[in-house]
Chains A and B, each alone.
Chain A
Amino acid sequence: MSTVPRFWRHIPQRYNLVGTHCEKCDEYYYPPRTICPNCRRNAKMEDHKFDGEGTVVTFTTIYNATDDFKRQTPYNLAIIELLEGPRLTGQVICSPEVIEIGMRVKPVFRILWKEGERGIIYYGTKFVPTEGWV
């Protein structure tokens, strides 16, 4: 169960895909890491804003969703590899017939989830196909 402060802490990474980059080993991290597992105490970490362009590594299409998402079915969840290397899970907005492994995607700003009728609206990043979308 998500909470308001927990969402609030994630706003930079959800809205703008802000992760981290280790200048020493040139590795990129999303979600952000504070310690580079390669370089440990010698790491030089900095914030890095990913452009969000990437490729679908694998995906699944949800036909039976939880109550909060059942009006959106069918929808696609994919593991997306960003250009800089990190992989993340995200929703790809397109018909299940269109999505395929290797498809290039780009980020869009959408509602991720609403906490019922009275709660917070959680915004963040989803993805659309690079081809055929404005």
Chain B
Amino acid sequence: MPVGIVSYGVYIPRYRIKAEEIARVWGEREDMAQSLNVFEKSVPDFDEDAVTIAVEAARNALKRASIDPARIGAIYVGSESHPYAVKPTGTIVGEAIGVDHQLTAADLEFACKAGTAAIQACLGLVSAGMIDLGLAMGTDTSQGAPGDALEYTAAAGGAAYLIGREDLAAEIEGFYSFTTDTPDFWRREGMPYPEHGGRFTGVPGYFKHVTSATRGLLKKMKTIPEDYDYAVFHQPNGKFPRRVAKSLGFSADQIEPGLVVPWIGNTYSGSSLIGLAATLDVAKPGDRIFLASFGSGAGSDAFSIRVGDAIEDIRNRAPRVRDYFENVQYLDYAVYAKHKGKLRL
């Protein structure tokens, strides 16, 4: 029996800071934005965190397909910025969307790919017939140390996917994961900002894992890049997904609808899932979408997705990704620092 996406929802905070404003403060090159292909990034409000973002995304997912939350049997929330070190994000989200309490829940962490790992966990339970619907989320208010390269991209946002067997907006035809122990990026317990291996995050990290997962899935599915109408690759910046797509044989047109990083930055666990949502916002029934996430540490989950008939019915019942690009409010670096709690008083 086919399994897949019954509904989806996203949330991106309203505030933005431009990359050129960050570059101005730290005396970096003026063309930093062009070089990263990230022009601005989302910034959470004082009272937003990974939980509030997840709740808003999950509420949008429920609204989009008019789902009774009592049907949800599992909640998995992927994030690297869970507000509590101990105390699950998933229970707060569950209560806020009005679930029946007969469900399992857990928080996941795998740098930027915990959201796709959450989808895989739900796919397993749904495929086995153990639950009716699973809610998988990727949500983050990611951190970059002041002046670090990450600061130009570390953004806030999230996506929620309801995984089930009936009324599919998109069938997940198959997935393939590639995982190794690669310390390209990490944050130790109690530390406010992550550390990373600089250029080491590129070839041995992102490119090796995304390429291996993508090639593995294409081989498993017996497909080629041309079989897909769209493709979404994890977006730590605006360069990497373009470069990896090209090297794997995917075209610029295939990745264009899902390439949201130039306007919102890297939303970490939300990143590839918001890219997928932006693609579902425009895809037609029968279209095929290739998705590959990446999480430092390191791993990549690749999915082959076929858009279903239900997409046309549900698409307009909740905000689309690009709706969150409108009416944004720009912050200067000082106010941004206050929003992000970078000033220790």
Contact = CB atoms under 8 A, between A and B. Distances in A.
Interface in A36-88: 49, 71-72
A134 B84 contact: no
Contacts of A16: 96, 98
A60 B52 CA distance: 25
B14 A133 contact: yes
Contact of B46 (A72, A132, A133): A72
6 contacts: A71-B46, A93-B45, A93-B47, A109-B59, A109-B96, A134-B326
Contact of B83 (A112, A121, A132): A121
A121 B84 contact: yes
A111 to B, nearest CB: 4
A132 B319 CA distance: 13
B47 A72 contact: yes
A111 B327 contact: no
A113 to B, nearest CB: 9
Contacts of A111: 46-49, 51-52
A71 B338 contact: yes
Interface of B: 14, 45-49, 51-52, 55-56, 59, 83-84, 92, 95-96, 98, 319, 323-324, 326-327, 338
Nearest to A49: B98
Given A11-B95, A15-B95, A16-B98, A123 B327 contact: no
Interface in A89-134: 93, 108-112, 121, 123, 126, 132-134
A111 B51 CA distance: 9
Given A112-B47, A123-B51, 18 more contacts: A12-B95, A15-B95, A15-B96, A16-B96, A16-B98, A71-B338, A108-B56, A109-B55, A110-B45, A110-B48, A111-B51, A111-B52, A121-B51, A123-B92, A126-B47, A134-B14, A134-B323, A134-B327
Nearest to A72: B46
Interface residues of A, number: 19
Contacts of A71: 46, 338
Contacts of B49: 111, 121
Contacts of B95: 11-12, 15
Nearest to B318: A134
B299 to A, nearest CB: 30
Smallest CB-CB A-B distances: 5 pairs: A110-B47, A111-B47, A109-B55, A15-B96, A134-B319
Nearest to B324: A134
Contacts of A72: 46-47
Nearest to A120: B87
A16 B84 CA distance: 21
A112 B45 CA distance: 12
With a 10 A CB-CB cut-off, give which of B48, B83, B96 has the most chain A CB atoms: B96
A15 B49 CA distance: 15
Nearest to B320: A134
A111 B55 CA distance: 12
Nearest to B345: A71
Contacts of A134: 14, 319, 323-324, 326-327
Nearest to B98: A16
B283 to A, nearest CB: 21
Interface in A1-44: 11-12, 15-16
A82 B227 CA distance: 51
Nearest to B46: A72
B276 to A, nearest CB: 19
A21 B319 CA distance: 31
A50 B238 CA distance: 42
Given A132-B327, A133-B327, A134-B324, A123 B96 contact: yes
A72 B48 CA distance: 12
Given A121-B84, A123-B96, A109 B56 contact: yes
A109 to B, nearest CB: 4
With a 10 A CB-CB cut-off, give which of B14, B48, B49, B52 has the most chain A CB atoms: B52
A123 B87 CA distance: 14
Contacts of A121: 49, 51, 83-84
Contacts of B326: 134
